[in-house]
Amino acid sequence: MMHELENKSDPVQVHRESLIQLAKKYGTPLYVYDSYKIKKQYIKMKKAFSGIKNLIINYACKANTNLNILKLLQKLGSGLDTVSIQEVELGLKAGFHPKRIIFTPNCVSIQEIKEAVGFGVRINLDNLSILEQFGEYYPDYAIGIRINPHIMAGGNSKISVGHIDSKFGISYYQIPHMKRILKNTGLKIEGFHMHTGSDISEIKAFLAGAKVLFQTAIDFKNLDYIDFGSGFKVPYKKDDIQTDLNSLSSYLTKEFEIFCKNYGSQITLIFEPGKFIVSESGYFLVSVNVIKHTTSTVFAGVDSGFNHFLRPMFYDAYHCIENISNPNGRFRFYTVVGYICESDTFGFNRKVKEIREGDILCIKNAGAYCFSMSSNYNSRYRPSEVMIFKGKDFLIRKRETMQDLLRNIVDIQHII
């Protein structure tokens, strides 16, 4: 399938003029996703690790759960990484086979995990208490274990999830306790999982984690997979650093081959990229409401805020901002802000082509952890989403209305 997809000549789907036309057609704020870029990133990942005989790529759907994106990746041959029972259900609706879905929850109740068993998906557990309960209920349902490798990695403390104080994973120091639970319950382990963080540019973090997983897995018989999670860094601006997949593949393929030889069988290697697959496919279009001068700053106020696009405010994330309405204007400096009742700065003191009221700004790398983290704060509507597929635009999520805000409200006017 990969070669068939690779040989198709897709047109250049997203450019300045097409984005302006989409903003006019669907209004702003608006998310636009380039399906060709998603496909290209998936193929890039497959090719980078083509030296591994049994390789599975599971898309981490928390990055963007639009059903159409899930369907696109399912048709490309991807599996699915999920972290909630709702994501599991979305994956099933998108056509993923239950055994191509891995459910890796954190701090959920045993009831939610029971629901996952009912759907027949693969499950990774990261808590000794839940492991013991699961073994009592389902001793014949093989599961995976998420290990905490005690590695500090990631582009921000909020997305570093493999360090010693993290809530994620079973510490590798707790392996003896885990073995005792397995012996007491008769529960079978089919794989080991690890995820240390996001936006990891240095491959040494991945290799250090691999060493922990290999050392742990070697003592367990009849494993089916080792799951390295993801965390690959993508570029957010020109000449930005990113994870060197080819170097990582060179080292990891060799180490994995050695492990399989020592283990005595060829098991499966799994990756779970989310941001790597969809981040660069996304464009967020906003209209400029007002230009506001203060004693020290020129603000460009737009028709959105952290209710739609949280990453710059939550993670101090950098996203490139371009004025696509005025490509020939001279560069000036602006602080681009939103319309929310708190500080919601998309970019501070940015060098952008002259911005005028009514212009359309494009915020890049909007495919991952953008719409999926949106909210109705200030009672604002969530925006529309559009996918570009084979040169045509398709509305894949309608803009919300007042009816959406009121849908689940229970009116007790007869009491008040």
Domain shared by 56 and 164, yes or no: yes
Domain shared by 99 and 118, yes or no: yes
For the chain, helix (H) and strand (E) counts, in that order, are 13, 18
Domain shared by 266 and 364, yes or no: no
CA angle centred on 386, ends 382 and 392, rounded to 5°: 165
Domain shared by 400 and 334, yes or no: yes
Given the residues 61, 320, 341, 370, the one annotated as active site: 341
Q: Of 248, 263, 278, which residue constitutes the final position of a domain?
A: 278
Q: Of 278, 303, 322, which residue constitutes the final position of a domain?
A: 278
Domain shared by 188 and 289, yes or no: no
Would you say residue 44 lies in a domain? yes
In 3D space, the residue among 214, 282, 261 whose CA is nearest the CA of residue 69 turns out to be: 282
**Hey, what long-range contacts does 327-335 have (CB within 8 A, 24 or more apart)?**
327/16, 327/353, 328/353, 329/353, 329/354, 330/354, 332/298, 333/298, 334/298, 334/299, 334/300, 335/297, 335/298, 335/299, 335/300
Would you say residue 382 lies in a domain? yes
| Segment-wise mean pLDDT, segments of 10 residues, the chain, 416 residues | 42 84 98 97 94 95 98 98 98 98 95 98 95 96 90 47 67 90 95 72 76 90 92 86 87 92 95 95 98 96 97 93 96 98 95 98 97 97 97 97 96 84
Domain shared by 108 and 244, yes or no: yes
Q: Of 252, 278, 304, which residue constitutes the final position of a domain?
A: 278
pTM recorded for the entire structure: 0.91
What pLDDT was estimated at residue 231?
80
| pLDDT tens per residue across span 20-52 | 999 999 999 999 999 999 999 999 999 999 999
The reply, when asked if residue 141 is annotated as ligand binding, is: no
Give buried/exposed letters for 219-255 (b at 16+ CB in 10 A, else e): ebeebebbbbbbbbbbebeeeeeebebeebbeebbee
> Could you count the other beta carbons within 10 Å of the beta carbon of residue 352?
20
Q: Is 107 a catalytic residue?
A: no
Domain shared by 179 and 248, yes or no: yes
Would you say residue 273 lies in a domain? yes
Question: What residues make up the domain containing 396?
Answer: 281-406
Distance separating alpha carbons of residues 248 and 78, to the nearest angstrom: 21
Burial of 201 (0-12, 13-18, 19+ CB in 10 A): middle
CA angle centred on 230, ends 225 and 234, rounded to 5°: 150
3-state helix, strand, coil in the chain (%, to 5): 35, 25, 40
What pLDDT was estimated at residue 163?
54
Domain shared by 326 and 337, yes or no: yes
Instruction: Take residue 9 and report the two structure tokens written for it.
Output: 């000549």
369: left (phi over 0), alpha (psi -120 to 50) or beta: left
The reply, when asked if residue 172 is annotated as ligand binding, is: no
The reply, when asked if residue 42 is annotated as ligand binding, is: no
What pLDDT was estimated at residue 165?
66
